[in-house]
Amino acid sequence: MFRVIGLLLLLLAGLSVALPASAQTTNKQAQIDSLNSEMNNAMEQARKIVNQPVTRYVRQSEMDVAVFQPGWFHPGANTPDFNNVDVRTTQEKIYDKYGYVSSDLNPGVMFLGRELEFNSNTKYFYTDRSLPKKKLTESEMLEINRLYRIIGHCQQQLAQLQNPQPAPETTSESTAETIVTRFPILKSTAVRVTFIVLALLGIVYLFRKRSE
């Protein structure tokens, strides 16, 4: 009798643990969508800060202007270490030594050198590379750092959700999965509830018979 009761209890435990696959998938997708939305929002905010417009001046022929070519930037960009980088440490004030600067991409236009910067850890978000980038303030760079941490956290969480590490199965979970696999009808919530009720009634009946 105790063996029968133990088997019924094991079956009940397995049925309670095995949630419908569709519910798990829906919950997982909702988490992925939420993380993607948070990450994209942080990226968009970082992009806006990095690509702020810079004041343009009409270039006069008699003015001394340093011209950079070809263009302002080399092709490509490294992906920042979003979890650790401090963009303040990679800000390059390479234009400070020039009064006015321009490039072969900006005929007739010049920019004030001390208003510009280059930063290898924000280049990833440069949208229009035909224009120089505004020199960011301390507070703007701290905000970039904060947004980068959000991006890094979201990327880690997404990686865990999309490539989960298999958890070791316990004996009860393994047995429950085997039972459900062999009898697909047990995937139905209604059938599970029916089995639980019948099992409980059976246990009560056995105890009453034993006490008679």
> 57-89 pLDDT, tens per residue?
999 988 999 999 999 999 999 999 999 999 999
Q: Assess contact for 183 and 14: CB atoms under 8 A.
A: no
> To 10 degrees, the CA torsion angle through 171, 176, 177, 182?
130
DSSP string, 160-176: HHHSPPPPPPPHHHHHH
Q: Where are the domains positioned within the chain? A: 2-34+166-211, 51-151
- pLDDT tens digits, 125-153: 999 999 999 999 999 999 999 999 999 99
pLDDT value of residue 173: 54
pLDDT value of residue 54: 97
Higher confidence at residue 102 or residue 163? 102
Residue 135 backbone zone (phi > 0: left; psi -120 to 50: alpha; other: beta): beta
pLDDT value of residue 163: 86
- pLDDT tens digits, 82-132: 999 999 999 999 999 999 999 999 999 999 999 999 999 999 999 999 999
Long-range contacts at 17-21 (CB < 8 A, ≥ 24 apart)? 17/172, 17/173, 17/176, 18/176, 18/177, 18/180, 20/187, 20/189, 21/187
pLDDT value of residue 25: 74
